Structure 1
Amino acid sequence: MADSAQLRPMTPDDLAAAMTVARSLPEWFNDGGIEQMTVDLCHQRGAVAEVDHDVVGFITWFSRAGVGEIGWIAVAPDHHRRGIGARLLEYAEDRLRRSGATEVQVETLGESVDYEPYERTRAFYRAAGFCYFKSVMTDNPGMPESLTLQKSLSPLLGD
């Protein structure tokens, strides 16, 4: 089903609505993740997806040494499988490309953790062209394996 979502830059006024979306996804974001997200959303660039003037999804990103990184992405459960996440990801990739990034990375729960919601997350990123970059075992019980996926960003036309 095609979505009718409108994408626009995230503003400070969107923080509460974005956090409402994130809290609607406890399968993906535990209390520690929500706490970190609350801080990150104040400092990272972002975009929101709106349907009927309601925020139903968001994405944040930042850049280090020419490599873009996706901070957070979330779409409200009743808007899953409508292409909103893919459109948000494309939006972020475009903004990163325009800022000079030639690659974009995302960190997610690793494959050694058998957990269906994150199997879907990894499939989402792979369908968007992301490939394995590195994997690290951690002491964090919420993310015992950190998987970094990476994608090359094609140059802007005319570059």
Structure 2
Amino acid sequence: MTTVRAVVDGDIEACLEIVRALPEYFTADVPEKVRGDLGCLLGWVAVRDGQVVGFVVVERRGTRAAEILWAAVDPSARRQGIGSQLAHEVMGELRATGVKVVELKTLDAAVDYKPYEATRAFWERMGFVQIDTIDPLPGWNPGNPAAIYVAGLAPTASQ
């Protein structure tokens, strides 16, 4: 059984190990970025048999919007529904705290890189829609276009 809960300090190294185990998705500088973000932003982990097997890091963008900055599942635990459970529960918690729209960025399909085909398909199954492509996105290397995705969690119009 897998449970999802908020990140605690003792989870950070396990999250970094997941990042390091996925070099086809994350560059060598990402573990330290994730460490910093886990120290000051919202984070959740998926735990199975006492082990962290996935995580998500989110930055609130005001009271009604948020961005998923980092998300990953341990390679040995992929394709078991953990990422879907993590995404659903995180988005549910965000919705419960007033978030209406969630954004994320990933590598655009213009780059023929097979690992990210599955990433884009996953987020699209989670209800995200690509709304733009930016190249170069500040902080990203030119030639690595960012696909900008959003998902609506609730109506954005004032009632």
* TM-score, length-scaled by structure 2: 0.89
For residues 8-19 of structure 1, what are the structure 2 equivalents within 5 Å? 8-19=5-16
CA distance in 1 between partners of 2:15 and 2:121 (Å): 23
Give the corresponding residue for 2:119.
121
Is the contact between residue 19 and residue 30 of structure 2 (CA under 8 Å) also seen in structure 1? Answer: no
* 2:147 corresponds to: 147
For 1:73, the equivalent position in structure 2 comes to 71
Gaps of 5+ in 1: none
Task: Tell me if the contact between 1:109 and 1:143 (Cα under 8 Å) persists in the aligned partners.
Answer: no
Q: Does 1:36 align with 2:33?
A: yes
Is 2:136–2:142's contact at 8 Å kept on the other side of the alignment? no
**SS state at 1:82 partner:** coil
Residues 42-85 of structure 1: CA deviation (Å, up to 9, x unaligned): 11111111111011111111211321111211100111111100
Distance 2:51 2:23 in 1: 20
2:67 aligned counterpart, secondary structure: strand
| Shift, 1:32, TM fit | 2.3
Aligned residue number for residue 132 of structure 1 = 130
Compared with structure 1, are the counterparts of its residues 7 and 32 closer, same or farther at alpha carbon in structure 2 (3 Å cutoff)? same
Q: CA 1:87/1:124 → structure 2, altered by over 3 Å: closer, same or farther?
A: same
TM-score, normalised to structure 1's length?
0.89
Q: After TM superposition, which residue ranges in structure 1, 4 or more long, deviate above 4 angstroms? A: none
Q: Who is 1:58 aligned against?
A: 55
Give me the whole-angstrom Cα distance separating, in 1, the residues matched to 2:8 and 2:145: 32
State the 1:142 CA deviation. 7.9
Q: How many equivalent residue pairs?
A: 153
User: More deviation in 140-149 or 33-42?
Assistant: 140-149
Please provide the CA RMSD for this pair: 1.8
Taking the aligned partners of 1:37 and 1:143, their CA distance within structure 2 comes to: 23
Q: Which runs of 5+ in 2 are unaligned?
A: none
Amino acid at match of 2:11: D
